[in-house]
Structure 1
Amino acid sequence: MGRGKVVLKRIENKINRQVTFSKRRGGLLKKAHELSVLCDVEVAAIVFSSSGRLFEFCSTPSSMLKMIARYRSLKNDESKATTSANETQNNYQEYLKLKAGVEYLEHSRNNLLGEDLQPLSINELEQLENQVEMSVKQIRSTKMQVMIDQQCDLNCKEQILQDANRNLRKKAQEALITVEAEPSQPAINDRTLQIGGSPVSNAFIPGWI
């Protein structure tokens, strides 16, 4: 009669659990030793009991720390390689999406320019025609709005110039009125001199030319 299949689950009895741990731990460390000897490989095994006691085996006992450091280094390299591979895959997927988007935009541009229309169906041509008509309406509307805005700017500039012109005319008229209101000054003869506060004709000065 064959032995039944052992169901792996936690042993509830503490004594039985401890005995099983001692036996299996010894068998595990023995198998690790046999593997290192038979296959000429580096093997390390670390076991902590439920009470926190450490049990370990290393094929080269003096290099347990070196083996752990080597393990960590390899795991880090593997993690970096996995991350790099994932990033490469994501970048490639993003590239494919961008490439498809660029091709679609180029195809749409060519259709709007009236090129590459042969592969399009009647429905697609009608949709393209409607799109072009809507674009033309939008362009005309925008053009009209720009012209209206420019006309408003020109009207504003014209009003500003007219106001400035009126102000200049007003100031010129005020200046003319002020000049006309001032009393006229007697003209001074070029050949008259002021000596001692009295005008003297050059005819009374000897040697006057």
Structure 2
Amino acid sequence: MTRGKIQIKRIENKTNRQVTYSKRRNGLFKKAKELTVLCDAKISIIMISSTFKLHEFITPNTTTKQMYDSYQQMLGIDIWSSHYAKMQEDLCRLKEGNRMLQKEIRRRMGYCMEDMNLEELVILQQDIEDSVTRVRERKYKLLANQIETTKKKVRNGEGIHRSLLQAFDALGEDPHYGLVEYDHMLGLRSRVHGLHLIPNEPNAPSGPGSCLTTYTYLE
């Protein structure tokens, strides 16, 4: 029983459409390969599916560029010249844009203003004033942040100072206390290297009646 003739129209079912595309693509590539071997022909096939997937077949030992070059020779056209011309147009447009930007920069620096009219000068002045305003606002913001940071450091230093005074008061008047190290105080890298107690009189006896002087060294 022979198979009925299939009507050539778009397959509405997406799954059936993809299956048909895959089967017929493989069959087409198979026929192209056979034609290449049997007839020594150069064949190039480029296929793009409805899901934008690229599939291609080209005769072995042949590149796509060689096929395009042969195509141009056979038809007597040059498809690369139009592409090169478009690239040249893009390059000229980019160069012109770069030239205008450099000219604008020189004008903002006070140069190349001989060909400017009054309206252009007014616009340039306004642009420069706006730029100066933004720079000044940024500067003041940075200064405010630095001032606030400095105030915090001062407050932390005052806290360390108060803590040190409290620690010194807690030590009492012990003349045999030779070295005290403090490696903390609010997480800062402040250090008291030594606390040296010296009697006022060279031969004064040690004890509760001694008059002591303290010397502190901060790093």
TM-score w.r.t. length of structure 2: 0.45
As a proportion of its length, which structure holds more helix? Answer: 1
**TM-score calculated relative to the size of structure 1:** 0.47
